Amino acid sequence: MRQVFTVAAHARLQKFLAKNDQKTAVEVLTPDASTREYFRIIWNGQSAIACVYAEQFLAAEHNYLDLTALFLANNLPVAAVYEFDEALGIIVQEDFGNLILRDYLHQSDEPTRDELLRRAISLIAKIQSTTALAFEMGSIASRLKFDEEKLLWELNFFKTHYFETLRRAKLSAVEDDGLNNEFNELAIELSNRASVLCHRDFHAANIMLDRKKRLRIIDHQDARIGTVSYDLVSLLLDRVTEPPEAVWLEEKKQFFLAERDILGLEKIEAKDFDYEFQLQTIQRCLKAIGTFSFQSVNRGKTYFIPYIKPMFRIARLAAKKAARFPQLQKIIDSELSE
């Protein structure tokens, strides 16, 4: 099915290039998990990326175009859009190259990794400084929020796809009721704290280094209003095989709060931020486990499985630090003991 879509996308791209008098070789890039296909082309004499969507779109309602305009308005390093075609479902954008931050971190020494993470953390603060502008511009992101409904949907996605899809073992009625009550509490608290613009998927695989080793943000089309801690949890705890040491994590949190202060953002007490960070860690880790479970079973991406138990360990530790959610802790203990 994917190959069929790639062929059809390539045909649409060729039609688009002919329509714009662009003669260029076309390089098929590794597709992501979405319904988009990416190709490297030459556009008006320079390298560019052509993104071919599954269907046509309206520019005024397109999240990627909307969010790109918003991010660029606040000088955030996202790809410039060179051209788009609504009927053919194509966007041509700036080419950042092939170097993904996650890969570069794996091959770097500790000082380099620390410096790059600090630069990425600074970008989170800069994204949050864009919140007021999002509302002023009427951005799509200002009308989307990690509200109670959205957070609960993600938590229930975890419950369904970890226990039923991956484990093929439903919870007991007592466990299910207890977990539902705790999920409701968690969703309400996090929804009440949602106040700033978030990238929503800000991890090292969605950050690139350009040819001058500058950090560049990609996959920002799903940005919405969420908690102050959301993107930081994603950056520091996504797809790890071992929970990070407490001292390391604390240093990164303190640096982030200092970066917010530099930008004149609302002051947050460290203790309150730490509590929110624990709550958001639980929700984000469970959401990730649900995604890993779904992708492993339904799309054959079994390389996600090794990340599941570390995510459980991190969520359990966060629940213990917050002194909350005993039913969840009990269920996680059971899963980790097997």
Taking the C-alpha atoms of residue 186 and residue 209, their distance in angstroms, rounded to an integer, is 36
Are 273 and 229 contacting, i.e. CB atoms less than 8 angstroms apart?
yes
Q: pTM of the predicted model, to two decimals?
A: 0.94
- The domain segmentation of the chain, as residue ranges, is 2-94, 101-337
Using one digit for the tens of pLDDT, what is the confidence trace for 268-313?
999 999 999 999 999 999 999 999 999 999 989 899 999 999 999 9
Fold adopted by 101-337: Aminoglycoside 3'-phosphotransferase; Chain: A, domain 2 (3.90.1200)
What is residue 88's DSSP assignment? Answer: T
Count of CB atoms within 10 A of residue 227's CB? 26
CATH for the stretch 2-94: 3.30.200.20
Using one digit for the tens of pLDDT, what is the confidence trace for 129-184?
999 999 999 999 999 999 999 999 999 999 999 999 999 998 999 999 999 999 99
No. of helices (H) and no. of strands (E), the chain? 12, 9
Which residues, including other chains, have CB under 8 Å from residue 222's CB and lie 6 or more apart?
63, 199, 200, 201
